[in-house]
Amino acid sequence: MPLQKSKPQATRRDLLKWSVAAVAPLSYALSSAQTSLKHNPFSIGVASGSPNHHSVVLWTRLMAEPSSSKTHFADADVSVKWEVADDESFKVNRRAGQVVALAALAHSVHLELDGLQSDRWYFYRFQIGDAQSSIGRTRTLPHPEAMVQKLRVAYASCQRWEHGYFSAYDHMCQENLDMVLFLGDYIYEYAAAANPVRLPKGGWVSSLDDYRERYALHKSEKGLQAMHAQCPWLVTWDDHEVSNDYAGLERGQSGNISFNFAAQRARAYQAFYEHMPLRASALTKSLDGLAQGAELRIYGQVPYGKLANIYLLDDRQYRDRQVCNKSDGYGSGFVNPDQCEDWFNPKRSLLGAEQTQWLDQAFANAQKDARPWNVVAQQTIFGRRDFRIGAGYTLWNDGWDGYSAARQQMTQSIQNNALKNPVLLGGDVHENWVGHVMADAYKDDSAKLGVEFCGAGITARSAGNSKLPARLAENPHFIFADSERKGYGVVEFTAKQIQTELRVVDDVRQPQTKIETLAKFEVEAGVPQLHRKA
């Protein structure tokens, strides 16, 4: 296979050139050279994501030999063959070409395949020399003006290696999904855990190699690989892809914090891009820009025919620092708002000014498109969650509670724009919470605007259910919660209703598990009222 000397850094122009070159020449001549490899360079699988009605990103990463940190292409960009077809045998409408695996991006591939038919399933694979990847399945979305009968998605988050096995994905593969919404904490940066089920190698994550190794470790899970190969993913992040409870360019409270947090964040963002099926345009100012604090743009809107709008948010990269921590410490804490002067400060932002304005405009545009469902996929729990029993409040300052003015700004935007049927999906808290989106989070008798499903996480531990009845009574806008079981949620959308199932495994400490439905809910279009089903 022909090799080319790699540049130390890839510019944005280079990245866009490579992404265009990967999709433009459908009859691209394949190299006849063959290289015999001593290992499988596709050991962490394949994935697809960032779909629309005519395009999708296909991803893989070439890995070194297990016993070595280097391969014969360690310092070079590598040409990788790709194939896409309508069938798993790659005989019907086969398309093929070559794409560059960039040394500067850990030999990751981000093939932006364009010119596809809408609302279609495709099969794909990669090859280098005599090594071939597993076969992936992906799909394009329906045309934005197409009438669609159904959308079936899973939402997931919080997969901590030390706390258990990712067996939930073995079951998710059987759910017949159109796509997966991953809502943050794909990796955890910790060195260890109390009573671990297993431990990652390498200690605290802080260097670029550390982040790369931690992603590769998580992607070595066969169930996760299989689910990535089942359908496209829309991905956002939370804090642990960088550091626990960080806020924008402000450090968090993990033991891996470097003196130059901006540089650490840039390394973490680069590793996230390298391991996710994102478009080159996400790197708004190239790799050099990340090092200077530039954004990695992951928020956006995806229409699914005339059935639903999906808004993917980023509440980490642009947020202001948390307020009223003890001794002005970094990270998160529990706060009494009555004793925190900045709690309701309207200048404090969770999404940042540009993303907030974009979302408000997107909600305004939604009035015109007549889609019955508006799905906000974001990192954490939206509704008020009061931990104090009785008078007053004790609230956690890292989620929407800690940015009350920003939350009120969103609910006001929902009302001002008469947003149809808002459905908020979240993660982060390691617990299942199901409730109503209220016009005023501090008034339990205010109007119900929509519904919320916050997921339990794939493995990350939680506190248990002993205090949940009292907490539910304190927060009556929530109708269900569970702080023990781990898994994911499945939401099925039709024009008339949604049905949500909370799917949980029996024991994440075991590699093989059983699955069951913990609870099931139904919401009728036009009526923001949750109904629990038997």
- Looking at the structure, tell me whether residues 371 and 340 fall in a common domain: yes
- Which phi and psi (to 5°) does residue 151 adopt? -135, 130
Residue 10's pLDDT is 47
Rounded Cα–Cα distance for residues 293 and 521 (Å): 42
Which run of H or of E encompasses 413?
helix 404-416
Residue 134's pLDDT is 98
Q: Helix, strand or coil for residue 153? A: strand
Three-state secondary structure string covering 62-73: CCCCCCCCCCCC
- Looking at the structure, tell me whether residues 70 and 218 fall in a common domain: no
- Looking at the structure, tell me whether residues 382 and 491 fall in a common domain: yes
- Helix axis angle for 353-369 and 404-416, nearest 10°, is 20
Residue 31's pLDDT is 33
- Looking at the structure, tell me whether residues 250 and 395 fall in a common domain: yes
- Looking at the structure, tell me whether residues 102 and 167 fall in a common domain: no
Taking the model in full, what pTM does it have?
0.94
- The letter for the amino acid at 70 is K
Rounded Cα–Cα distance for residues 326 and 315 (Å): 23
408-417: Cβ within 8 A, 24+ apart: 408/440, 408/441, 409/356, 410/359, 411/437, 411/438, 411/439, 411/440, 411/441, 411/449, 413/359, 413/360, 413/363, 414/363, 414/449, 414/450, 415/439, 415/449, 416/363, 417/360, 417/363, 417/364, 417/366, 417/367
- Looking at the structure, tell me whether residues 107 and 184 fall in a common domain: no
Three-state secondary structure string covering 102-139: EHHHCCEEEEEECCCCCCCEEEEEEEECCEECCCEEEE
Other CB atoms within 10 Å distance of the CB of residue 145: 11
- Looking at the structure, tell me whether residues 74 and 101 fall in a common domain: yes
Boundary-marking domain end, from 117, 140, 163: 140
Pure H helices in 463-534: 468-474
Give yes or no for a contact between 460 and 159, defined as CB atoms under 8 angstroms apart.
yes
Rounded Cα–Cα distance for residues 204 and 195 (Å): 17
- Looking at the structure, tell me whether residues 116 and 167 fall in a common domain: no
- Looking at the structure, tell me whether residues 237 and 112 fall in a common domain: no
Boundary-marking domain end, from 140, 172, 191: 140
Residue 350's pLDDT is 98
How confident is the model over 403-442, as pLDDT tens digits?
Answer: 999 999 999 999 999 999 999 999 999 999 999 999 999 9
Positive or negative, the Cα torsion across 428, 430, 435, 439?
Answer: negative
- Helix axis angle for 261-275 and 208-219, nearest 10°, is 30
- Provide CB contacts within 8 A for 334, sequence distance 6+: 387, 394, 395, 396, 397
Strands of 420-486, DSSP E: 422-426, 432-438, 448-454, 478-482
* Residue 111 belongs to domain with CATH number: 2.60.40.380
- Looking at the structure, tell me whether residues 110 and 170 fall in a common domain: no
Pure H helices in 6-51: 12-23
Which run of H or of E encompasses 215?
helix 208-219
Q: Helix, strand or coil for residue 529? A: coil
Total domains in the fold of the chain: 2
List the one residue out of 81, 54, 219 whose CA is nearest residue 144. 54
Q: Which domain holds residue 419?
A: 141-533
Spans of the chain below 50 pLDDT: 1-10, 12, 16-34
* Residue 150 belongs to domain with CATH number: 3.60.21.70
Boundary-marking domain end, from 76, 111, 140: 140
List the one residue out of 373, 424, 411 whose CA is nearest residue 526. 373
- Looking at the structure, tell me whether residues 219 and 78 fall in a common domain: no
Residue 72's pLDDT is 53
Residue whose tokens read 């939930």: 168
- Looking at the structure, tell me whether residues 7 and 136 fall in a common domain: yes
Strand partners for 433: 454, 481
**By 3-state DSSP, what share of the chain in percent is helix, strand and coil, each rounded to 5?**
20, 25, 50
